[in-house]
Chain A
Amino acid sequence: MISDADISALWLSIQLSTFSTIILMIIGTPLAWWLSKSKFFLKPVIQTLISMPLVLPPTVLGFYLLIFLGQNGPLADITNFMGLGILAFSFSGLLIGSIIYSLPFVVQPIYSSFMANGNHSSDVAATLGASKLDRFFSIEVPMASPGFITAAILGFAHTLGEFGVVLMIGGNIPGKTKVLSIAIYDHVEAVEYASAHSLSAIMLTISFVLLMLVYFFNNKYSHFNYVN
């Protein structure tokens, strides 16, 4: 019931989600930290931009990415110059699309954790001799760890489930850009319901388990925000 092509699509989805999550955590952490501390007057604009994928139809996002990264797009010259070639219809293109698409799901939980913890503990640590960087790693990040776990799981799960962006920017190239959600769509189109069922069940299970992990962690770490 599950063909080699399906396995390859599943594997591609997992690879895409993994790389996206890693890159999102690296970009999202400083971004969320900056947002939680900054009083910059344009902060709401930046927050809006980050949150756009929450409301925008994925096809719109995918369409713009296709325009920008495609053959005649304004970014094509740059990616060509960097030796990356044309990113549309490539795994790198998918990765960029996924990162933008899942950014709010990663930034928001980390931002909320930083906000909930406030500056107090960091102030205490400062009077005990810890520098700013020291405080970030010894106090702020560990205290925000529930937010990080939620962010990583949501980022991973959300990328795993994306369809519209991937279809627009990646096309449907088996083994290269054909991810699980597209494979399911193809099976339905071809009236291969048994295969669609199997793959959908896999997606359902993975999504359920991942979301359940988020809620388990959230409940377990709720004491982190303990206030006297």
Chain B
Amino acid sequence: MSIKVKLKLVKNKFTLDVNFSIRENKITAIYGKSGSGKSTLLRCLNGLEPNTTGCFVCDDTIYQDENVFILPHKRQIATVFQDNNLFFHKSVMENLEYGYKRVSKADIKIKIKDIINDLQLENLLTKKPAMLSGGEQSQIAIARALLSSPKILLLDETLSSIDIKKRENIIKCILKVPQKHNITIVFISHNIQEVSQIADDLVLMDNGKIITYGKTAKIFANDDIYFAQSDETSVIIKTEVAKIDKKYAISYLGFSGGMFQVARTDLNMKQKIRLRIVAKDVSLATAYNNNTSILNIFKARVTNIKPAGLSQKLIKLKIADDEIFAKITNKSAGILSLKINKQVYVQIKSVALFD
């Protein structure tokens, strides 16, 4: 069940030439520098660039090939653009109804009432868009797009304009969408945190081309990727809540190499949690150290060592089946005499939790 995209567009001296596939009913992030062609790619997907050539096929649906070009309004690909999404002559409610009214009854996946409840939009319904904040406008635009019951939902850096408190709520809502309503989500982001939090799959773009694509965790663990060289170098580890210690207000999250201890008690047993661990928060030791405040210490094996800038090294390590990066100074690497296959202990100072 995958969506195959092989498209080309030359516009204003910029060439977009992409070839990749994404999984249906999953959340895919498109990540890349500004000017790498992410927004143009979205416009090719939703059919707004009629000069696009190539093919774009999803199972039995052909959006485009040599002989076919489905017009945007017939694609069932809703798009939330970076800004100015709402129709300013219509109220919030009329905006929400716009796509909804144009869906045949049999195809309706999401009801207006449900989305108003989920996103807590009751107080906004009679307002005109000009009275809303930028974040609220994005929220309404996402709701309106979902209400058009699309097969694919495209989000162009929509989440970044929403304030943190509301963003968590929207992300929770979005995370449920693919499985619950059979909607594939493709979102553009330049925020690694956001990508690691919600993307099942990742497409990396640069200069109108695809650098790589695949499962997010796999790409994060690939030390050849350019952002492995940046401050954002991190890995995603999938865990499950195994134990909750009420006394210390600590939850234990199981993974292949043992248990992470995190200072949270609001989690449920067996709940699936994604952890993002940034390389600079990981330190290494050759011996197990009892005298430390760090709770998360695991035995690991060095699998790769790469220079990262002038004074640092990026160390790739394996803890059982999971991989992790540590960024340490060249001096420390020398003191520890790190070599490939050497056994070390990783000490993890902090983790980001996505439930």
Report which A residues bind B (CB closer than 8 A): 120-121, 123-132, 134-135, 138-139, 142-143, 145, 223-224, 226-228
Alpha-carbon distance A109/B344, docked complex (angstroms): 74
Taking the closest CB of chain B, its distance from the CB of A131, in whole angstroms, is 5
Chain B residues with a Cβ under 8 A of chain A? 46-48, 71-79, 81, 83-85, 87-90, 98-99, 102-103, 130, 134, 137, 144-145, 148, 154
Residues A139 and B87 in contact, CB atoms below 8 Å apart: yes
Given contacts A130-B102, A226-B130, contact A125 B46 (CB under 8 A): no
Given contacts A227-B84, A228-B134, contact A127 B89 (CB under 8 A): no
Q: Which of A127, A143, A145 has the most CB of B within 10 A?
A: A127
Across the interface, do B88 and A124 meet the contact criterion of CB distance under 8 Å?
A: no
Complex contacts, A131 vs chain B, CB 8 Å: 71, 73
Q: Which residue in B83, B84, B130, B144 is a CB contact (below 8 Å) of A128?
A: B144
- Known interface pairs A129-B102, A129-B103, A228-B83; 16 further A-B residue pairs with C-beta atoms within 8 A, sorted by A's residue number: A124-B85, A125-B73, A126-B46, A127-B73, A127-B78, A128-B73, A128-B78, A128-B99, A132-B73, A134-B73, A134-B102, A138-B98, A139-B87, A143-B89, A224-B89, A228-B84
Q: Are A124 and B89 CB-contacts (below 8 A) given A129-B103, A223-B130?
A: no
Residues in chain A near residue B145, CB distance under 8 A: 127-128
Query: A120 to B87, Cβ gap below 8 A?
Result: no
Query: In the complex, how many angstroms separate the beta carbon of A201 from the nearest chain B beta carbon?
Result: 38
Q: Identify whether the interface residues of A are mostly helix, strand, loop, or mixed.
A: helix
**A127 vs B44: C-alpha distance when bound (angstroms):** 12
A126 in complex: contacting residue of B48, B103, B144, B154, CB < 8 Å: B48
Majority secondary structure, B binding face: loop
> What are 19 inter-chain pairs, A to B, with CB distance below 8 A?
A120-B84, A123-B81, A125-B73, A125-B98, A126-B71, A127-B46, A127-B72, A127-B75, A128-B73, A128-B148, A129-B73, A129-B74, A129-B148, A130-B98, A134-B102, A142-B89, A145-B89, A223-B88, A228-B84
Q: Are B72 and A121 in contact (CB under 8 A)?
A: no
Give the docked Cα–Cα distance between A120 and B87 (Å).
10
Expressed in whole angstroms, the Cα–Cα distance for A131 and B73 within the complex equals 6
A125 to B78, CA, bound (A): 9
Contact of A125 among B47, B87, B130, B137 (CB under 8 A): B87
Among residues of B, the one whose C-beta sits closest to the C-beta of A129 is B102
Chain B, Cβ-Cβ closest to A118 = B84
Residue on B with the closest CB to A126?
B72
Nearest chain A CB to B123 CB, angstrom units: 21
Q: Which of B79, B84, B103 contacts A127 (CB 8 A)?
A: B79
Q: Contact at A143–B134, with CB atoms within 8 Å?
A: no
Which of B46, B81, B88, B90 counts the most chain A CB atoms within 10 A?
B88
Bound together, the chains give a CA A129 to CA B84 distance in angstroms of 18
Chain B residue numbers with a CB within 8 Å of A126 are: 46-48, 71-73
Q: Which residue of A is nearest B98, CB measured?
A: A128
**In whole angstroms, what is the CA distance A130 to B255 when docked?**
48
CB distance from A111 to the nearest CB of B (A): 19
The minimal Cβ–Cβ distance linking B106 to chain A, given in whole angstroms, is 14
Least distance between A23 CB and chain B CB atoms (Å):
26
A83 CA to B72 CA, complexed, in Å: 47
Contacts of B81 in A (CB 8 A): 120, 123-124
Question: Cβ of A125: which chain B residues have Cβ within 8 Å of it?
Answer: 73, 87, 98
Distance between Cα atoms of A194 and B152 in the complex (Å):
74
Min C-beta distance of A114 to chain B, whole Å: 14
Residues in B with CB closer than 8 Å to A128 are 73, 78, 98-99, 102, 144-145, 148
In angstroms, how far is the closest chain A Cβ from the Cβ of B158?
Answer: 12
With A and B bound together, what is the CA distance between A128 and B75 in angstroms?
9
Complex interface: chain B residues within 8 A of A127 (CB): 46, 48, 72-73, 75, 77-79, 145, 148, 154
Contact of A124 with B130 in the complex, beta carbons under 8 Å: no
A224–chain B nearest beta-carbon distance, Å: 6
Residues of B within 8 A of A145 (CB): 89
CB neighbours (8 Å) of B85 from chain A are 124
Chain B nearest CB, measured from A154 CB (Å) = 21
Give Cα distance in the complex from A36 to B11, angstroms. 21
Distance in angstroms from B86 CB to nearest chain A CB is 8
| Neighbour of A130 across the interface among B48, B73, B84, B134, CB < 8 A | B73
Residues of chain A within 8 A of B144, CB atoms compared? 128
Min CB gap A146→B, angstroms: 10
Q: Which residues of A contact B98 (CB under 8 A)?
A: 125, 128, 130, 138
From A123, A129, A143, contact of B88 by CB (8 A): A143
B99 touches A129 (CB 8 A): yes
The answer to whether B84 touches A121, judged by C-beta atoms less than 8 angstroms apart, is: yes
Closest B residue to A123 using CB positions: B48
Q: In the complex, which residues of chain B have a beta carbon less than 8 angstroms from the beta carbon of A123?
A: 48, 72, 81
How far apart are B52's CB and chain A's nearest CB, in angstroms? 14
B192 CB to closest chain A CB (Å) equals 25
Interface contact B102-A121, CB-CB below 8 Å: no
> Which of A143, A227, A228 is B87 in contact with, Cβ under 8 Å?
A143
- Contacting residues, chain A, for B72 (C-beta < 8 A): 123, 126-127
Give the residue name and chain of the A residue nearest to B77 (CB).
A127
- Shortest beta-carbon distance, B74 to chain A, in Å? 8
